[in-house]
């Protein structure tokens, strides 16, 4: 199970790297289009459309990454004043809440993809992108997000029931000792 | 009655540290299920897709990526040292460098947390080396960092513009003068406090013209970035998203020139970018869904009518809104605060005849204040996070207090003189 945890975490990180390169590539595409427009003449490259797809896909895959990195914003007015056991309970509850929302989004996203496939919808631009391609990747991100939440809940429960050392359980749930959990860790502090 | 129960459960869920996005999402789903037979929920998929492919939102990851590259290529550190040479002869010494370089870094990055973390990491060792009194010094870092969301390019202003359909270029222009003024007021506050009690000050350097001039080249990269991004918008060459792409590519060029452009640096920048973007966007999407649901249920009209019944003058209404935000800001994370409330506050304020652009700047100032008011103030946490001597969180809060007062004064000033924000956009549009 720990192996699966590491595998999923790594998968999530890889997906973020791939999305990062995709964002960088769209940056160059956008830049190229601006340059052409201002130096020579307006040429339709479709950078706005493509970068929109890249953005939509990147954020859905980023949602799962935020779960692993504990980056989803939580208000810790109460959290900071309770003991580690209560924190663990709140962490699990948080994952459940995220799982419910993620599950609803994943279901609606899949419905949208279904419709697109049914009607073979294409974008109303010169590119005529078959919309199922970006939407499939987008919906998959939502499913991975929901799956990650469910897996983490299960993982923590299994660790608890198998009598794993408290420290290990807390680490898996991301129970924090000092740092305020509502604060996304500053990029500089992460090096 | 069901509405009251749902509202109470929502507040409890937020207090229990459930993720804000999940709470807003759950709230939308349950309101829709109870009052609409879940008819709206069926449209969420298409709605979220349409919103997510909006080109203007692509500016968010690009501006965050720009800040990450500036940060990781060492440009920000150089800038700090250069600004320090220019400002550290003033009473309060390096604290002006904290504020000044935050303002400049803010002009290349749209994030307050990144600004405070960057400047803080470079500045922190100087406290001991030059004998500053810790609280005020730390406060100046936390407060300086908040300038990141007011001085363009600012990510919260993009989100505000998208949610309220206000022109983002106008918002950017409107933020510039209040941003510079606020930085100046912070510096005046530091000078005043250090003149009253010189113990707060550290060892001062004399102005050295040669060093000052020598430091100028280090200020060139941020200046080029700022002019490239902001200039291209106002010369009509580029939209905000396109301007962000110009910024990213220029920053990459600077990083490559300094031989700091490596694969591991890029991957770390990607991780930071997507982490922050996804964190913001989940709340943005949840807030957008919630706005649809409560709009459909007529909640906003009900609140507007309720406020109308109170019989307040427009000025009293704005004062009430400001006070509510100051209180909310004590406890709420700022982005969630803006996103959950703007759908209600915007129609109220514009209905009373206030300008949408001006309101955006006012809300950003309130967000900035919330960033440094305890017990929940993100920048206070960031600054506390960089301390290595294990000092108490209380000290950071005390140090930030004078800057909170400065901000409140600035807010009053902006309400009294709306042209602080509106004059510059008027020259262009």
- Peptide linkage before B375 cis (omega within 30 of 0): yes
The stretch A78-90 carries a mean pLDDT of: 85
The stretch A51-75 carries a mean pLDDT of: 92
Residues 6+ apart with CB under 8 A from B26: A97, A100, A101, B10, B13
- Which segment of A2-6, B306-310, B346-350 scores lowest on mean pLDDT? B306-310
> For residue B395, is pLDDT > 50?
yes
The per-residue pLDDT of chain A, averaged, comes to 86
Nearest in space to A22 (alpha carbons), one of A136, A134, A105: A134
d(CA B111, CA B113): 6
pLDDT in tens, B176-225: 999 999 999 999 999 999 999 888 888 777 778 888 888 888 888 888 99
How confident is the model at residue A179, as a pLDDT?
37
Query: For residues B36 and B126, is the Cβ–Cβ distance under 8 A?
Result: no
How confident is the model at residue B285, as a pLDDT?
92
Q: Which of the four pLDDT bands, split at 50, 70 and 90, describes residue B39? A: confident
How confident is the model at residue A186, as a pLDDT?
37
Q: H-helix or E-strand containing B339?
A: helix B334-351
How confident is the model at residue A182, as a pLDDT?
36
pLDDT in tens, B290-316: 888 888 888 777 887 888 788 888 999
Reduce the DSSP state of residue B201 to 3 states and report it. coil
Query: For residues A53 and A134, is the Cβ–Cβ distance under 8 A?
Result: yes
- Percent residues over pLDDT 70 in chain B: 99
How distant, in Å, are the alpha carbons of A65, A144, B35, B152 from that of A15? 9, 11, 39, 30
pLDDT in tens, B65-109: 998 898 888 888 888 889 988 888 889 889 999 999 888 887 776
- Percent residues over pLDDT 90 in chain B: 41
Question: DSSP readout, B86-132?
Answer: HHTTSTTTHHHHHHHHHHHHHTT---HHHHHHHHHHHHHHHHHHHT-
Gyration radius (Cα) of chain A, Å: 20
d(CA B269, CA B263): 10
pLDDT in tens, B97-151: 999 988 888 777 666 777 788 888 888 888 888 889 899 999 999 999 898 889 8
Q: Which of the four pLDDT bands, split at 50, 70 and 90, describes residue A162? A: confident
Q: Which of the four pLDDT bands, split at 50, 70 and 90, describes residue A178? A: very low
Most confident of A176-180, B59-63, B373-377, B388-392: B59-63
Q: Which of the four pLDDT bands, split at 50, 70 and 90, describes residue B420? A: very high
Q: Which of the four pLDDT bands, split at 50, 70 and 90, describes residue A180? A: very low
Interface test mutation site (partner A, options B14, B21, B23, B53, max chain A beta carbons within 10 A): B53
Cross-chain Cβ contact A77/B376 below 8 Å: yes
How far is the alpha carbon of B249 from chain A, nearest alpha carbon, in Å? 7
How confident is the model at residue B387, as a pLDDT?
85
Query: For residues B350 and B304, is the Cβ–Cβ distance under 8 A?
Result: no
Tell whether A89 lies on the interface with B, counting CB pairs under 8 A: no
Q: Which of the four pLDDT bands, split at 50, 70 and 90, describes residue B372? A: very high
Nearest in space to A116 (alpha carbons), one of A171, A53, A178: A53
How confident is the model at residue A171, as a pLDDT?
75
How confident is the model at residue B140, as a pLDDT?
94
| ipTM for this model | 0.89
> For residue A184, is pLDDT > 70?
no
The per-residue pLDDT of chain B, averaged, comes to 88
Nearest in space to B62 (alpha carbons), one of B239, B234, B327, B293: B239
How confident is the model at residue B110, as a pLDDT?
63
Q: Which of the four pLDDT bands, split at 50, 70 and 90, describes residue A189? A: very low
Cross-chain Cβ contact A28/B382 below 8 Å: no
How far is the alpha carbon of B47 from chain A, nearest alpha carbon, in Å? 9
Tell whether B375 lies on the interface with A, counting CB pairs under 8 A: yes
Tell me the residues of chain A between 101 and 160 that have a Cβ less than 8 Å away from chain B: 101, 104-105, 107-112, 115, 134-135, 138
Nearest in space to B15 (alpha carbons), one of A149, A176, A81: A81
**Bridge partners of A122?**
A130
Tell whether B419 lies on the interface with A, counting CB pairs under 8 A: no
How confident is the model at residue B1, as a pLDDT?
61
How confident is the model at residue B9, as a pLDDT?
85
pLDDT in tens, A134-151: 999 999 999 999 999 999
The chain A residue lying nearest B118, using CA atoms, is A188
Interface test mutation site (partner A, options B22, B66, B105, B292, max chain A beta carbons within 10 A): B22
């Amino acid at each position: 199970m720990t192996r699966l945890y590491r595998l999923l975490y790594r998968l999530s990180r890889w997906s973020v790297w791939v999305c990062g390169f995709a964002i960088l590539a769209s940056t160059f595409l956008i830049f190229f289009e601006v340059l052409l427009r201002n130096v020579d003449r307006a040429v339709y490259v479709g950078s706005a459309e493509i970068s929109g797809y890249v953005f939509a896909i990147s954020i859905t895959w980023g949602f799962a990454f935020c779960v692993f990195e504990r980056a989803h914003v939580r208000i810790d007015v109460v959290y900071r004043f309770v003991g580690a056991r209560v924190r663990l309970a709140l962490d699990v509850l948080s994952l459940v809440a995220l799982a419910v929302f993620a599950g609803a989004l994943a279901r609606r996203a899949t419905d949208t993809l279904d419709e697109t496939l049914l009607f073979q919808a294409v974008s109303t631009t010169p590119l005529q992108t078959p919309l199922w391609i970006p939407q499939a990747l987008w919906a998959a991100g939502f499913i991975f997000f929901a799956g990650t939440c469910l897996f983490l809940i299960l993982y923590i429960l299994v660790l608890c029931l198998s009598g794993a050392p408290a420290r290990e359980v807390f680490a898996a749930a991301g129970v924090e000792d000092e740092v305020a959990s509502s604060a996304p860790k500053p990029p500089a502090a992460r090096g | 009655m069901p509405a009251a129960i749902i509202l109470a459960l929502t507040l409890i869920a937020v207090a229990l540290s459930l993720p804000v996005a999940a709470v807003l999402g759950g709230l939308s789903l349950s309101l829709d299920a109870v009052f609409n037979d879940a008819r709206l929920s069926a449209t969420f998929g298409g709605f979220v897709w349409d919103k997510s492919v909006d080109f203007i939102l692509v500016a968010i990851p690009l501006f965050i990526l720009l800040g990450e590259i500036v940060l990781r290529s060492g440009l920000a550190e150089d800038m700090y040292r250069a600004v320090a040479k220019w400002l550290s002869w003033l009473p309060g010494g390096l604290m002006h460098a904290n504020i000044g370089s935050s303002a400049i870094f803010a002009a290349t990055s749209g994030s307050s947390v990144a600004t405070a973390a960057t400047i803080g990491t470079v500045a922190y060792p100087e406290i001991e080396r030059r004998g500053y009194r810790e609280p005020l010094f730390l406060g100046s870092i936390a407060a300086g960092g908040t300038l990141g969301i007011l001085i363009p390019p600012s990510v919260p202003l993009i989100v505000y513009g998208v949610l309220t359909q206000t022109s983002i270029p106008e918002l950017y222009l409107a933020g510039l003068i209040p941003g510079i003024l606020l930085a100046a007021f912070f510096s005046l506050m530091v000078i005043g406090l250090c003149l009253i009690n010189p113990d707060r000050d550290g060892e001062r350097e004399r102005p050295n013209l040669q060093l000052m001039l020598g430091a100028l080249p280090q200020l060139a990269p941020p200046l080029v970035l700022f002019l490239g991004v902001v200039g291209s918008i106002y010369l009509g060459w580029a939209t905000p998203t396109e301007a962000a792409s110009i910024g990213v590519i220029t920053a990459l060029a600077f990083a490559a020139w300094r031989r700091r452009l490596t694969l591991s640096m890029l991957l770390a920048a990607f991780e930071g970018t997507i982490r922050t973007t996804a964190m913001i966007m989940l709340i943005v999407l949840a807030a957008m869904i919630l706005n649809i649901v409560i709009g459909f249920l007529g909640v906003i009209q009900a609140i507007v009518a309720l406020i109308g019944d109170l019989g307040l003058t427009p000025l009293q209404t704005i004062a009430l809104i400001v006070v509510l935000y100051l209180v909310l800001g004590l406890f709420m994370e700022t982005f969630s605060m803006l996103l959950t409330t703007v759908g209600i506050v915007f129609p109220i304020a514009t209905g009373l005849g206030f300008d949408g652009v001006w309101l955006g700047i006012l809300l950003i100032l309130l967000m900035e204040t919330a960033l440094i008011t305890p017990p929940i103030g993100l920048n206070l946490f960031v600054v506390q996070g960089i301390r290595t001597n294990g000092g108490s969180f209380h000290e950071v809060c005390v140090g930030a207090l004078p800057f909170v007062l400065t901000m409140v004064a600035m807010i009053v000033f902006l309400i009294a003189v709306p042209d602080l924000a509106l004059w510059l956009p008027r020259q262009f549009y």
